Chain A
């Protein structure tokens, strides 16, 4: 519940404040967003299954985002940044879809 409140507050604040992303963060933002999305969808599923844990959510979110950015950063250093970010997006995408499917089954029973 708190996560959802925070989410809404963040969106509202960003719309009002309209911040500029620092330039050095720009290449990593897409991957970081997908990682964050993965953590959120995972948390939503856990919430529906009554296994949600604050600690796991916080840790998984931060580590997902950090690792996603780190992988792309390393990829950039060795010249395969775009390929590695594609790999990250594929893996996270599969996870998001699977979790979303589980949520869908639970909520809609379909």
Chain B
């Protein structure tokens, strides 16, 4: 209790009232000190009130670092993919050179296998998550169903957001993202399928793929559209390669 009374009683530095008050000489130096102290106090108040002191710099910079790292990795991935594409073309050219002839692949084999870029008429499905509903998020299973529906409807080549599907393609869920060929995608999903647009859209609409999409639309608010295109260009799947076999 005495402590609290003392706090209230001696609120001012007791020295203020004593002999210090009347030492008028040699004031020049302490005067500047007073100015400096006032300056310091103003700096402190303003800095803290403007939030400069409490900006969560470390968190923000860490976040920026991570984003930069992810972007860098993505860029590197892109570069490597381009390099792989270039090397694949080179291998093809060398093969043709060595063997003295172009390896002739059946056209349908080329398009179905995903080994080379193809173009032709087809349809584009655009599927968009429902942002207002947690259950309205498209998952890997949905994409698989739709892709299978497209194959069933007679599609000759399919790509999802620009990633060509081949026999080795995996459409998987990784965290909250769908990955195709191990690259993550985000909504909206553009599924391009080459085939006769008319018959493709007709048999897709009456097949299990459209049924699945309509189910998603009805129950989870996922929106989807189907357009036919006269010309679609689908790249090759860069993941296709021979692992164990070699030429004798």
Contact = CB atoms under 8 A, between A and B. Distances in A.
A21 B52 contact: yes
B244 interface: no
B41 A10 contact: yes
B246 interface: no
Given A10-B42, A42-B16, 6 more contacts: A10-B46, A14-B42, A25-B53, A30-B48, A33-B45, A98-B8
Interface residues of A, number: 51
A23 B34 CA distance: 27
Interface in A18-60: 18-21, 23, 25-26, 29-30, 32-33, 36-37, 39-40, 42, 45-46, 49-58, 60
A8 B34 contact: no
A9 B39 contact: yes
B42 A56 contact: no
Interface residues of B, number: 38
Interface of A: 2-15, 18-21, 23, 25-26, 29-30, 32-33, 36-37, 39-40, 42, 45-46, 49-58, 60-62, 91, 94-95, 98-99, 102
Interface of B: 4, 7-8, 11-13, 15-17, 20-21, 23, 27, 30-31, 33-48, 50, 52-55, 57-58
Nearest to A15: B46
Contact of A10 (B11, B30, B43, B50): B43
B113 to A, nearest CB: 57
B217 to A, nearest CB: 51
